[in-house]
Amino acid sequence: MSPRPEDESCAAVLPLLEAYLDGELSPAAAAPVRDHLASCPACAAELRLATAIRDGLRGLPELDAPPTVLLRVRQEAGRAGVLAFRPPQPALRRPRLAALAAVLAVALLGATLLFQLLRSPQPVQPTPQEIAQATAQARYALAYIGRVSRRAGLELKDEILPRHLVEPAARTLSRSLGETPEPDAAPRQGS
């Protein structure tokens, strides 16, 4: 049974039921509502429905996002670079440093050779054997730089670079320029 529209008391009380239920009406405003509810079964039923709605809403559970969503958040945040402030991993840092050192070493050797050629009044005349060895070492250096670049992410021994690239190249360059080899330089094969 619903309140009759023509019932002015019901029409006045119905919009106040939620505030009345929450105890947010002043005592002066709540008193006539309470009196009406006591004598009007239809409005009392409306109050029960209002109570069921309020309690039903408050009984609805909060819901956790599924773990797959949180995983996707991490992945997307990582792709967007927002994890960049995480300390870089050693396995990623060292190859990059090694590649940079290789490039710098080749550039340094090139600059030294150019400086010596410009300074010397007599062009250096290396032997065919020295030219062949220098060519082989240059090829090795280029191949090594390419390999380092491709293997970014893999661990690399720091001492490989000076032992296999910088020191041999320096020895060959010194000999080509007519300087005395250092005492601890490794003997050349076949000599």
Partner 1 sequence: MTTGIEEVVARYQRRVFTFARYFLGHREEAEDVTQEVLVRLWRHAEGLDAERLGSWLLKVTRNACYDRLRQRRSAAAVVAPDLDAEVAEAAVSDDPDPAAQAEAAEFRHQLVAALGRLDEPYRSVLILREIQDLQYQEISDALEMPLNTVRVNIHRGRQRLRELLKEVYGHVATA
Interface residue list for partner 1 (CB under 8 A)? 1-2, 14-15, 17-19, 22, 24, 41-42, 44-46, 48-50, 52-54, 56-66, 68-70, 72-73, 76-77, 80, 82-83, 85-86
Min CB(9)–partner 1 separation in Å: 16
Min CB(36)–partner 1 separation in Å: 15
Two structure tokens written together for 188: 């050349």
Whole-angstrom distance, CA of residue 96 vs CA of residue 104: 12
Two structure tokens written together for 43: 């409005």
Nearer to partner 1, 81 or 121 (CB): 81
Residue 131's Cα: distance from chain center in Å? Answer: 47
Whether residue 33 contacts residue 13, with contact meaning beta carbons closer than 8 Å, is answered with yes
Nearer to partner 1, 69 or 118 (CB): 69
Neighbours of 58 (CB within 10 A): 7
Nearer to partner 1, 50 or 138 (CB): 50
